[in-house]
RNA sequence: GGCCCGUUGGUGAAGCGGUUAACACACCAGCCUUUCACGCUGGCAUGCAGGGGUUCGAAUCCCCUACGGGUCACCA
């Protein structure tokens, strides 16, 4: 059995999309599960769409997710180069071979003519398919067309009347009739191969054993198989994974606002890579048991092609949030604090570098909210009360403050605060006890007025810690103001 | 339009001829708690898109219909 080799072959047209990331993940998991190699190859033959930095961005995204690879443009490998545009001479060699054997031919239609032909077929209700008018031109005819200034592209001659079938690891046997496939371009006039051609040559030469890719490629597969056959290559095992749909059941489009679609956006929002990995693994794949929380390492152990679903996967954003919260709770406080600091800084709430004291303070604030954070960026909004200069009393808060016993509690609390030496949670606890003894109020009646008086809100994290973090002076000021108003 | 694929609760998703139709999210109720959040316990599909078959027996197999999706590029 040959060593398993899988690849992720992005075109460097932009940032790492969640769908591509999941394809890469599946390919990675399958390779690791089987002790194989994972390769990244850059499909940059559509030179007009390539964006500068696209390659780096793709790889940075994968790296952030925790995926690594064995061969690629950054580290080389025995099957390079790993960028299609650096393999042009290789493609040419195989095109020449097909040409010589009559399995491909020079085609002279211009893009304008093709588009016109296409539109006409569509208008007639026909399936668009290349006419093949220039399939069997004589050298003289070709010379004449070239004299007109036409530069030929190379088309693959699709055999007639064939049934092309292959065994897909996800879908089982898949069949296509060759008659539904028109002769397709494998090399553009300028010598750049098209995807279907480059993909076959590269996968074959790089000895890729398993091609795991999105379902949208399923209809490309018969074309590619034809090329494998024409060149005498052994096709790999194919596995077409289901598409990811948004919550309306529609294919995610780049413009779709309902879902955050790019990996670096998740990073910016404060998602943890392990939650994204876990979540993506469950997009179209299901583990055997009931457990659904897995580390990357665990996934490498249990992943299998057999358990990939045929039905499209729906992107459940609520579930992702829940999962991210799960991992945030599991993470160390220190890690979450480090992630949180930039958000505070961007919001203008703190300035860097942080003093030791301020860092400790921030750490305590973050600790208060760690268990309810579903994305780290939310920390700014959640912890708002610790950064406000003035208290703003909510409607519910005002109602609490209007209660009869409130002045007594507040007055007593304020007075007892004078005796405090260090304003820490323990000391505050003893102050509470004293106030309780003096006023006779306890529980909700005791704590709620104090909470509202200092924070303006009826809800919030642990009161003692909250007071301690807001600081003695501010607490006294706020209480004093209320006590004064009452009098 | 041709060809391919899919359809299980409010949501995601197991299920591969005989199950009380997992599990999770959400939601509701209760507990915990000064409040919120977390956590815990319980509730939540007489039903597997609809209609026909096959079978002693079907979410599971077959056919039709509906709906959704993919694809038919000198884009990957």
Average pLDDT score over residue span A356-374: 96
Residue A284 CA distance to nucleotide B31 C1' (Å): 37
For the structural domain made of A395-486, what CATH number should be given?
1.10.10.350
Residue nearest to nucleotide B38 (CA to C1'): A371
Predicted confidence at residue A213, as pLDDT, reads 96
Distance of alpha carbon A138 from alpha carbon A129, whole angstroms: 23
Q: Which nucleotides of B are covered by protein (CB under 7 A)?
A: 1-8, 10-16, 22-26, 34-39, 68-76
Q: pLDDT tens for residues A58-114?
A: 999 999 999 999 999 999 999 989 999 999 999 999 999 999 999 999 999 998 889
Strands A5-8 and A37-40 come out as parallel
Q: What pLDDT, in 10s, does the model give residues A15-52? A: 999 999 999 999 999 999 999 999 999 999 999 999 99
Segment A241-250, tens digit of pLDDT? 999 988 877 8
**Could you tell me how many residues make up chain A?**
487
* Spatial distance from the CA of A180 to the C1' of B1 (Å): 13
- For A231-243, give one letter per residue: b (16+ CB within 10 A) or e: eebebbbbbbbbb
**pLDDT above 80: residue A314:** yes
Q: Is A254 a catalytic residue?
A: yes
Which residue has the least CA–C1' distance to nucleotide B67? Answer: A249
Give the tens place of pLDDT for each residue, A249-282.
Answer: 787 777 777 788 999 999 999 999 999 999 999 9
Catalytic residue among A3, A97, A116, A254: A254
Residue range A331-386 in CATH 1.10.8.70: yes
Q: Which residue has the higher pLDDT, A251 or A164?
A: A164
Closest of A437, A278, A270, A292 to residue A339, by C-alpha: A270
- Return the closest nucleotide (C1') to the Cα of A320: B25
Q: How far is the CA of A394 from the C1' of B18 (A)?
A: 60
Rounded CA–C1' distance between A15 and B37, in angstroms: 35
| Structural domain boundaries in chain A | 5-83+245-314, 87-241, 331-386, 395-486
* pLDDT confidence of residue A447: 94
Torsion angles phi and psi, residue A274, rounded to 5: -65, -30
**CATH domain A87-241 topology:** Rossmann fold (3.40.50)
**Mean pLDDT of chain A, nearest integer:** 93
User: Do A87-241 and A395-486 come out as alike in CATH topology?
Assistant: no
pLDDT (0 to 100) of residue A486? 60
Residues with Cβ within 8 Å of A309's Cβ and at least 6 positions away in sequence, in order, are A170, A242, A284, A285, A286
Q: HSE, CB side, 13 Å, CA atoms: give it for residue A105.
A: 18
* A254 is an annotated ligand-binding site residue: yes
CATH match of A5-83+245-314 with 3.40.50.620:
yes
Q: Which nucleotide in the DNA or RNA is closest to residue A432, CA to C1'?
A: B34
* SS3 state of residue A237: strand
Nucleotide in closest CA–C1' contact with A171:
B5
To 5 degrees, how large is the angle CA A369–CA A299–CA A316?
55
């Amino acid at each position: 059995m040959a060593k398993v080799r899988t690849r992720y072959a992005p075109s460097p047209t932009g940032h790492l999309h969640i769908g591509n990331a999941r394809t890469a993940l599946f390919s990675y998991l399958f390779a690791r599960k089987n002790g194989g190699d994972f390769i990244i190859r850059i499909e940059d033959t559509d030179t007009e769409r390539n964006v500068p930095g696209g390659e780096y961005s793709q790889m940075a995204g994968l790296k952030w997710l925790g995926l690594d690879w064995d061969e690629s443009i950054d580290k080389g490998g025995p099957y390079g180069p790993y960028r299609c545009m650096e393999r042009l001479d290789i493609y040419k060699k195989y095109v020449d071979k097909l040409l010589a054997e009559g399995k491909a031919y020079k085609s002279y239609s211009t893009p304008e003519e093709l588009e016109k032909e296409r539109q006409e077929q569509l208008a007639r209700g026909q399936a668009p398919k290349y006419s093949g008018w220039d399939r069997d031109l004589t050298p003289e005819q070709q010379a004449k067309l070239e004299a007109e200034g036409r530069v030929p592209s190379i088309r693959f001659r699709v055999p007639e009347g064939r049934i092309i079938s292959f065994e897909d690891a996800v879908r089982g046997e898949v069949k296509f009739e060759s008659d539904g496939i028109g002769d397709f371009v494998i090399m553009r006039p300028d010598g750049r191969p098209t995807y279907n051609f480059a993909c076959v040559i590269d996968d074959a030469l790089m000895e890729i054993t398993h091609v795991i890719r999105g379902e949208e490629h399923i209809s490309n597969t018969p074309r590619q198989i034809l090329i494998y056959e024409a060149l005498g290559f052994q096709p790999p095992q194919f596995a077409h994974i289901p598409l990811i749909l948004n919550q309306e059941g529609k294919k995610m489009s780049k413009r779709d606002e309902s879902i955050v679609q790019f990996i670096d956006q998740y990073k910016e929002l404060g998602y943890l890579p392990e939650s994204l990995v876990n979540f993506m693994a469950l997009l179209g794949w299901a583990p055997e048991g009931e457990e659904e929380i897995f580390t990357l390492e665990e996934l490498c152990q249990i992943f299998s092609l057999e358990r990939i679903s045929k039905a499209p996967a729906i992107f459940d954003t609520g579930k992702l949030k829940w999962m991210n919260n799960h991992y945030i709770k599991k993470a160390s406080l220190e890690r979450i604090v480090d992630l949180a600091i930039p958000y505070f800084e961007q919001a203008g709430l703190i300035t860097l570098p942080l003093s030791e004291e301020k860092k400790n303070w921030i750490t305590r604030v973050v600790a208060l909210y760690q268990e309810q954070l579903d994305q780290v960026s939310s920390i700014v909004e959640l912890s708002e009360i610790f950064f406000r200069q003035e208290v703003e009393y909510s409607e519910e808060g005002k109602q609490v403050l209007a209660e009869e016993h409130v002045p007594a509690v507040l007055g007593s609390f304020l007075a007892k605060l004078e005796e405090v030496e260090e304003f820490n949670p323990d000391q505050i606890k003893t102050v509470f006890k004293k106030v309780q003894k003096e006023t006779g109020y306890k529980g909700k009646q005791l704590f709620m007025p104090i909470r509202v008086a200092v924070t303006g809100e009826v809800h919030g994290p642990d009161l003692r810690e909250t007071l301690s973090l807001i600081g003695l002076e501010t607490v006294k000021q706020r209480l004093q103001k209320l006590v004064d108003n009452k009098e």
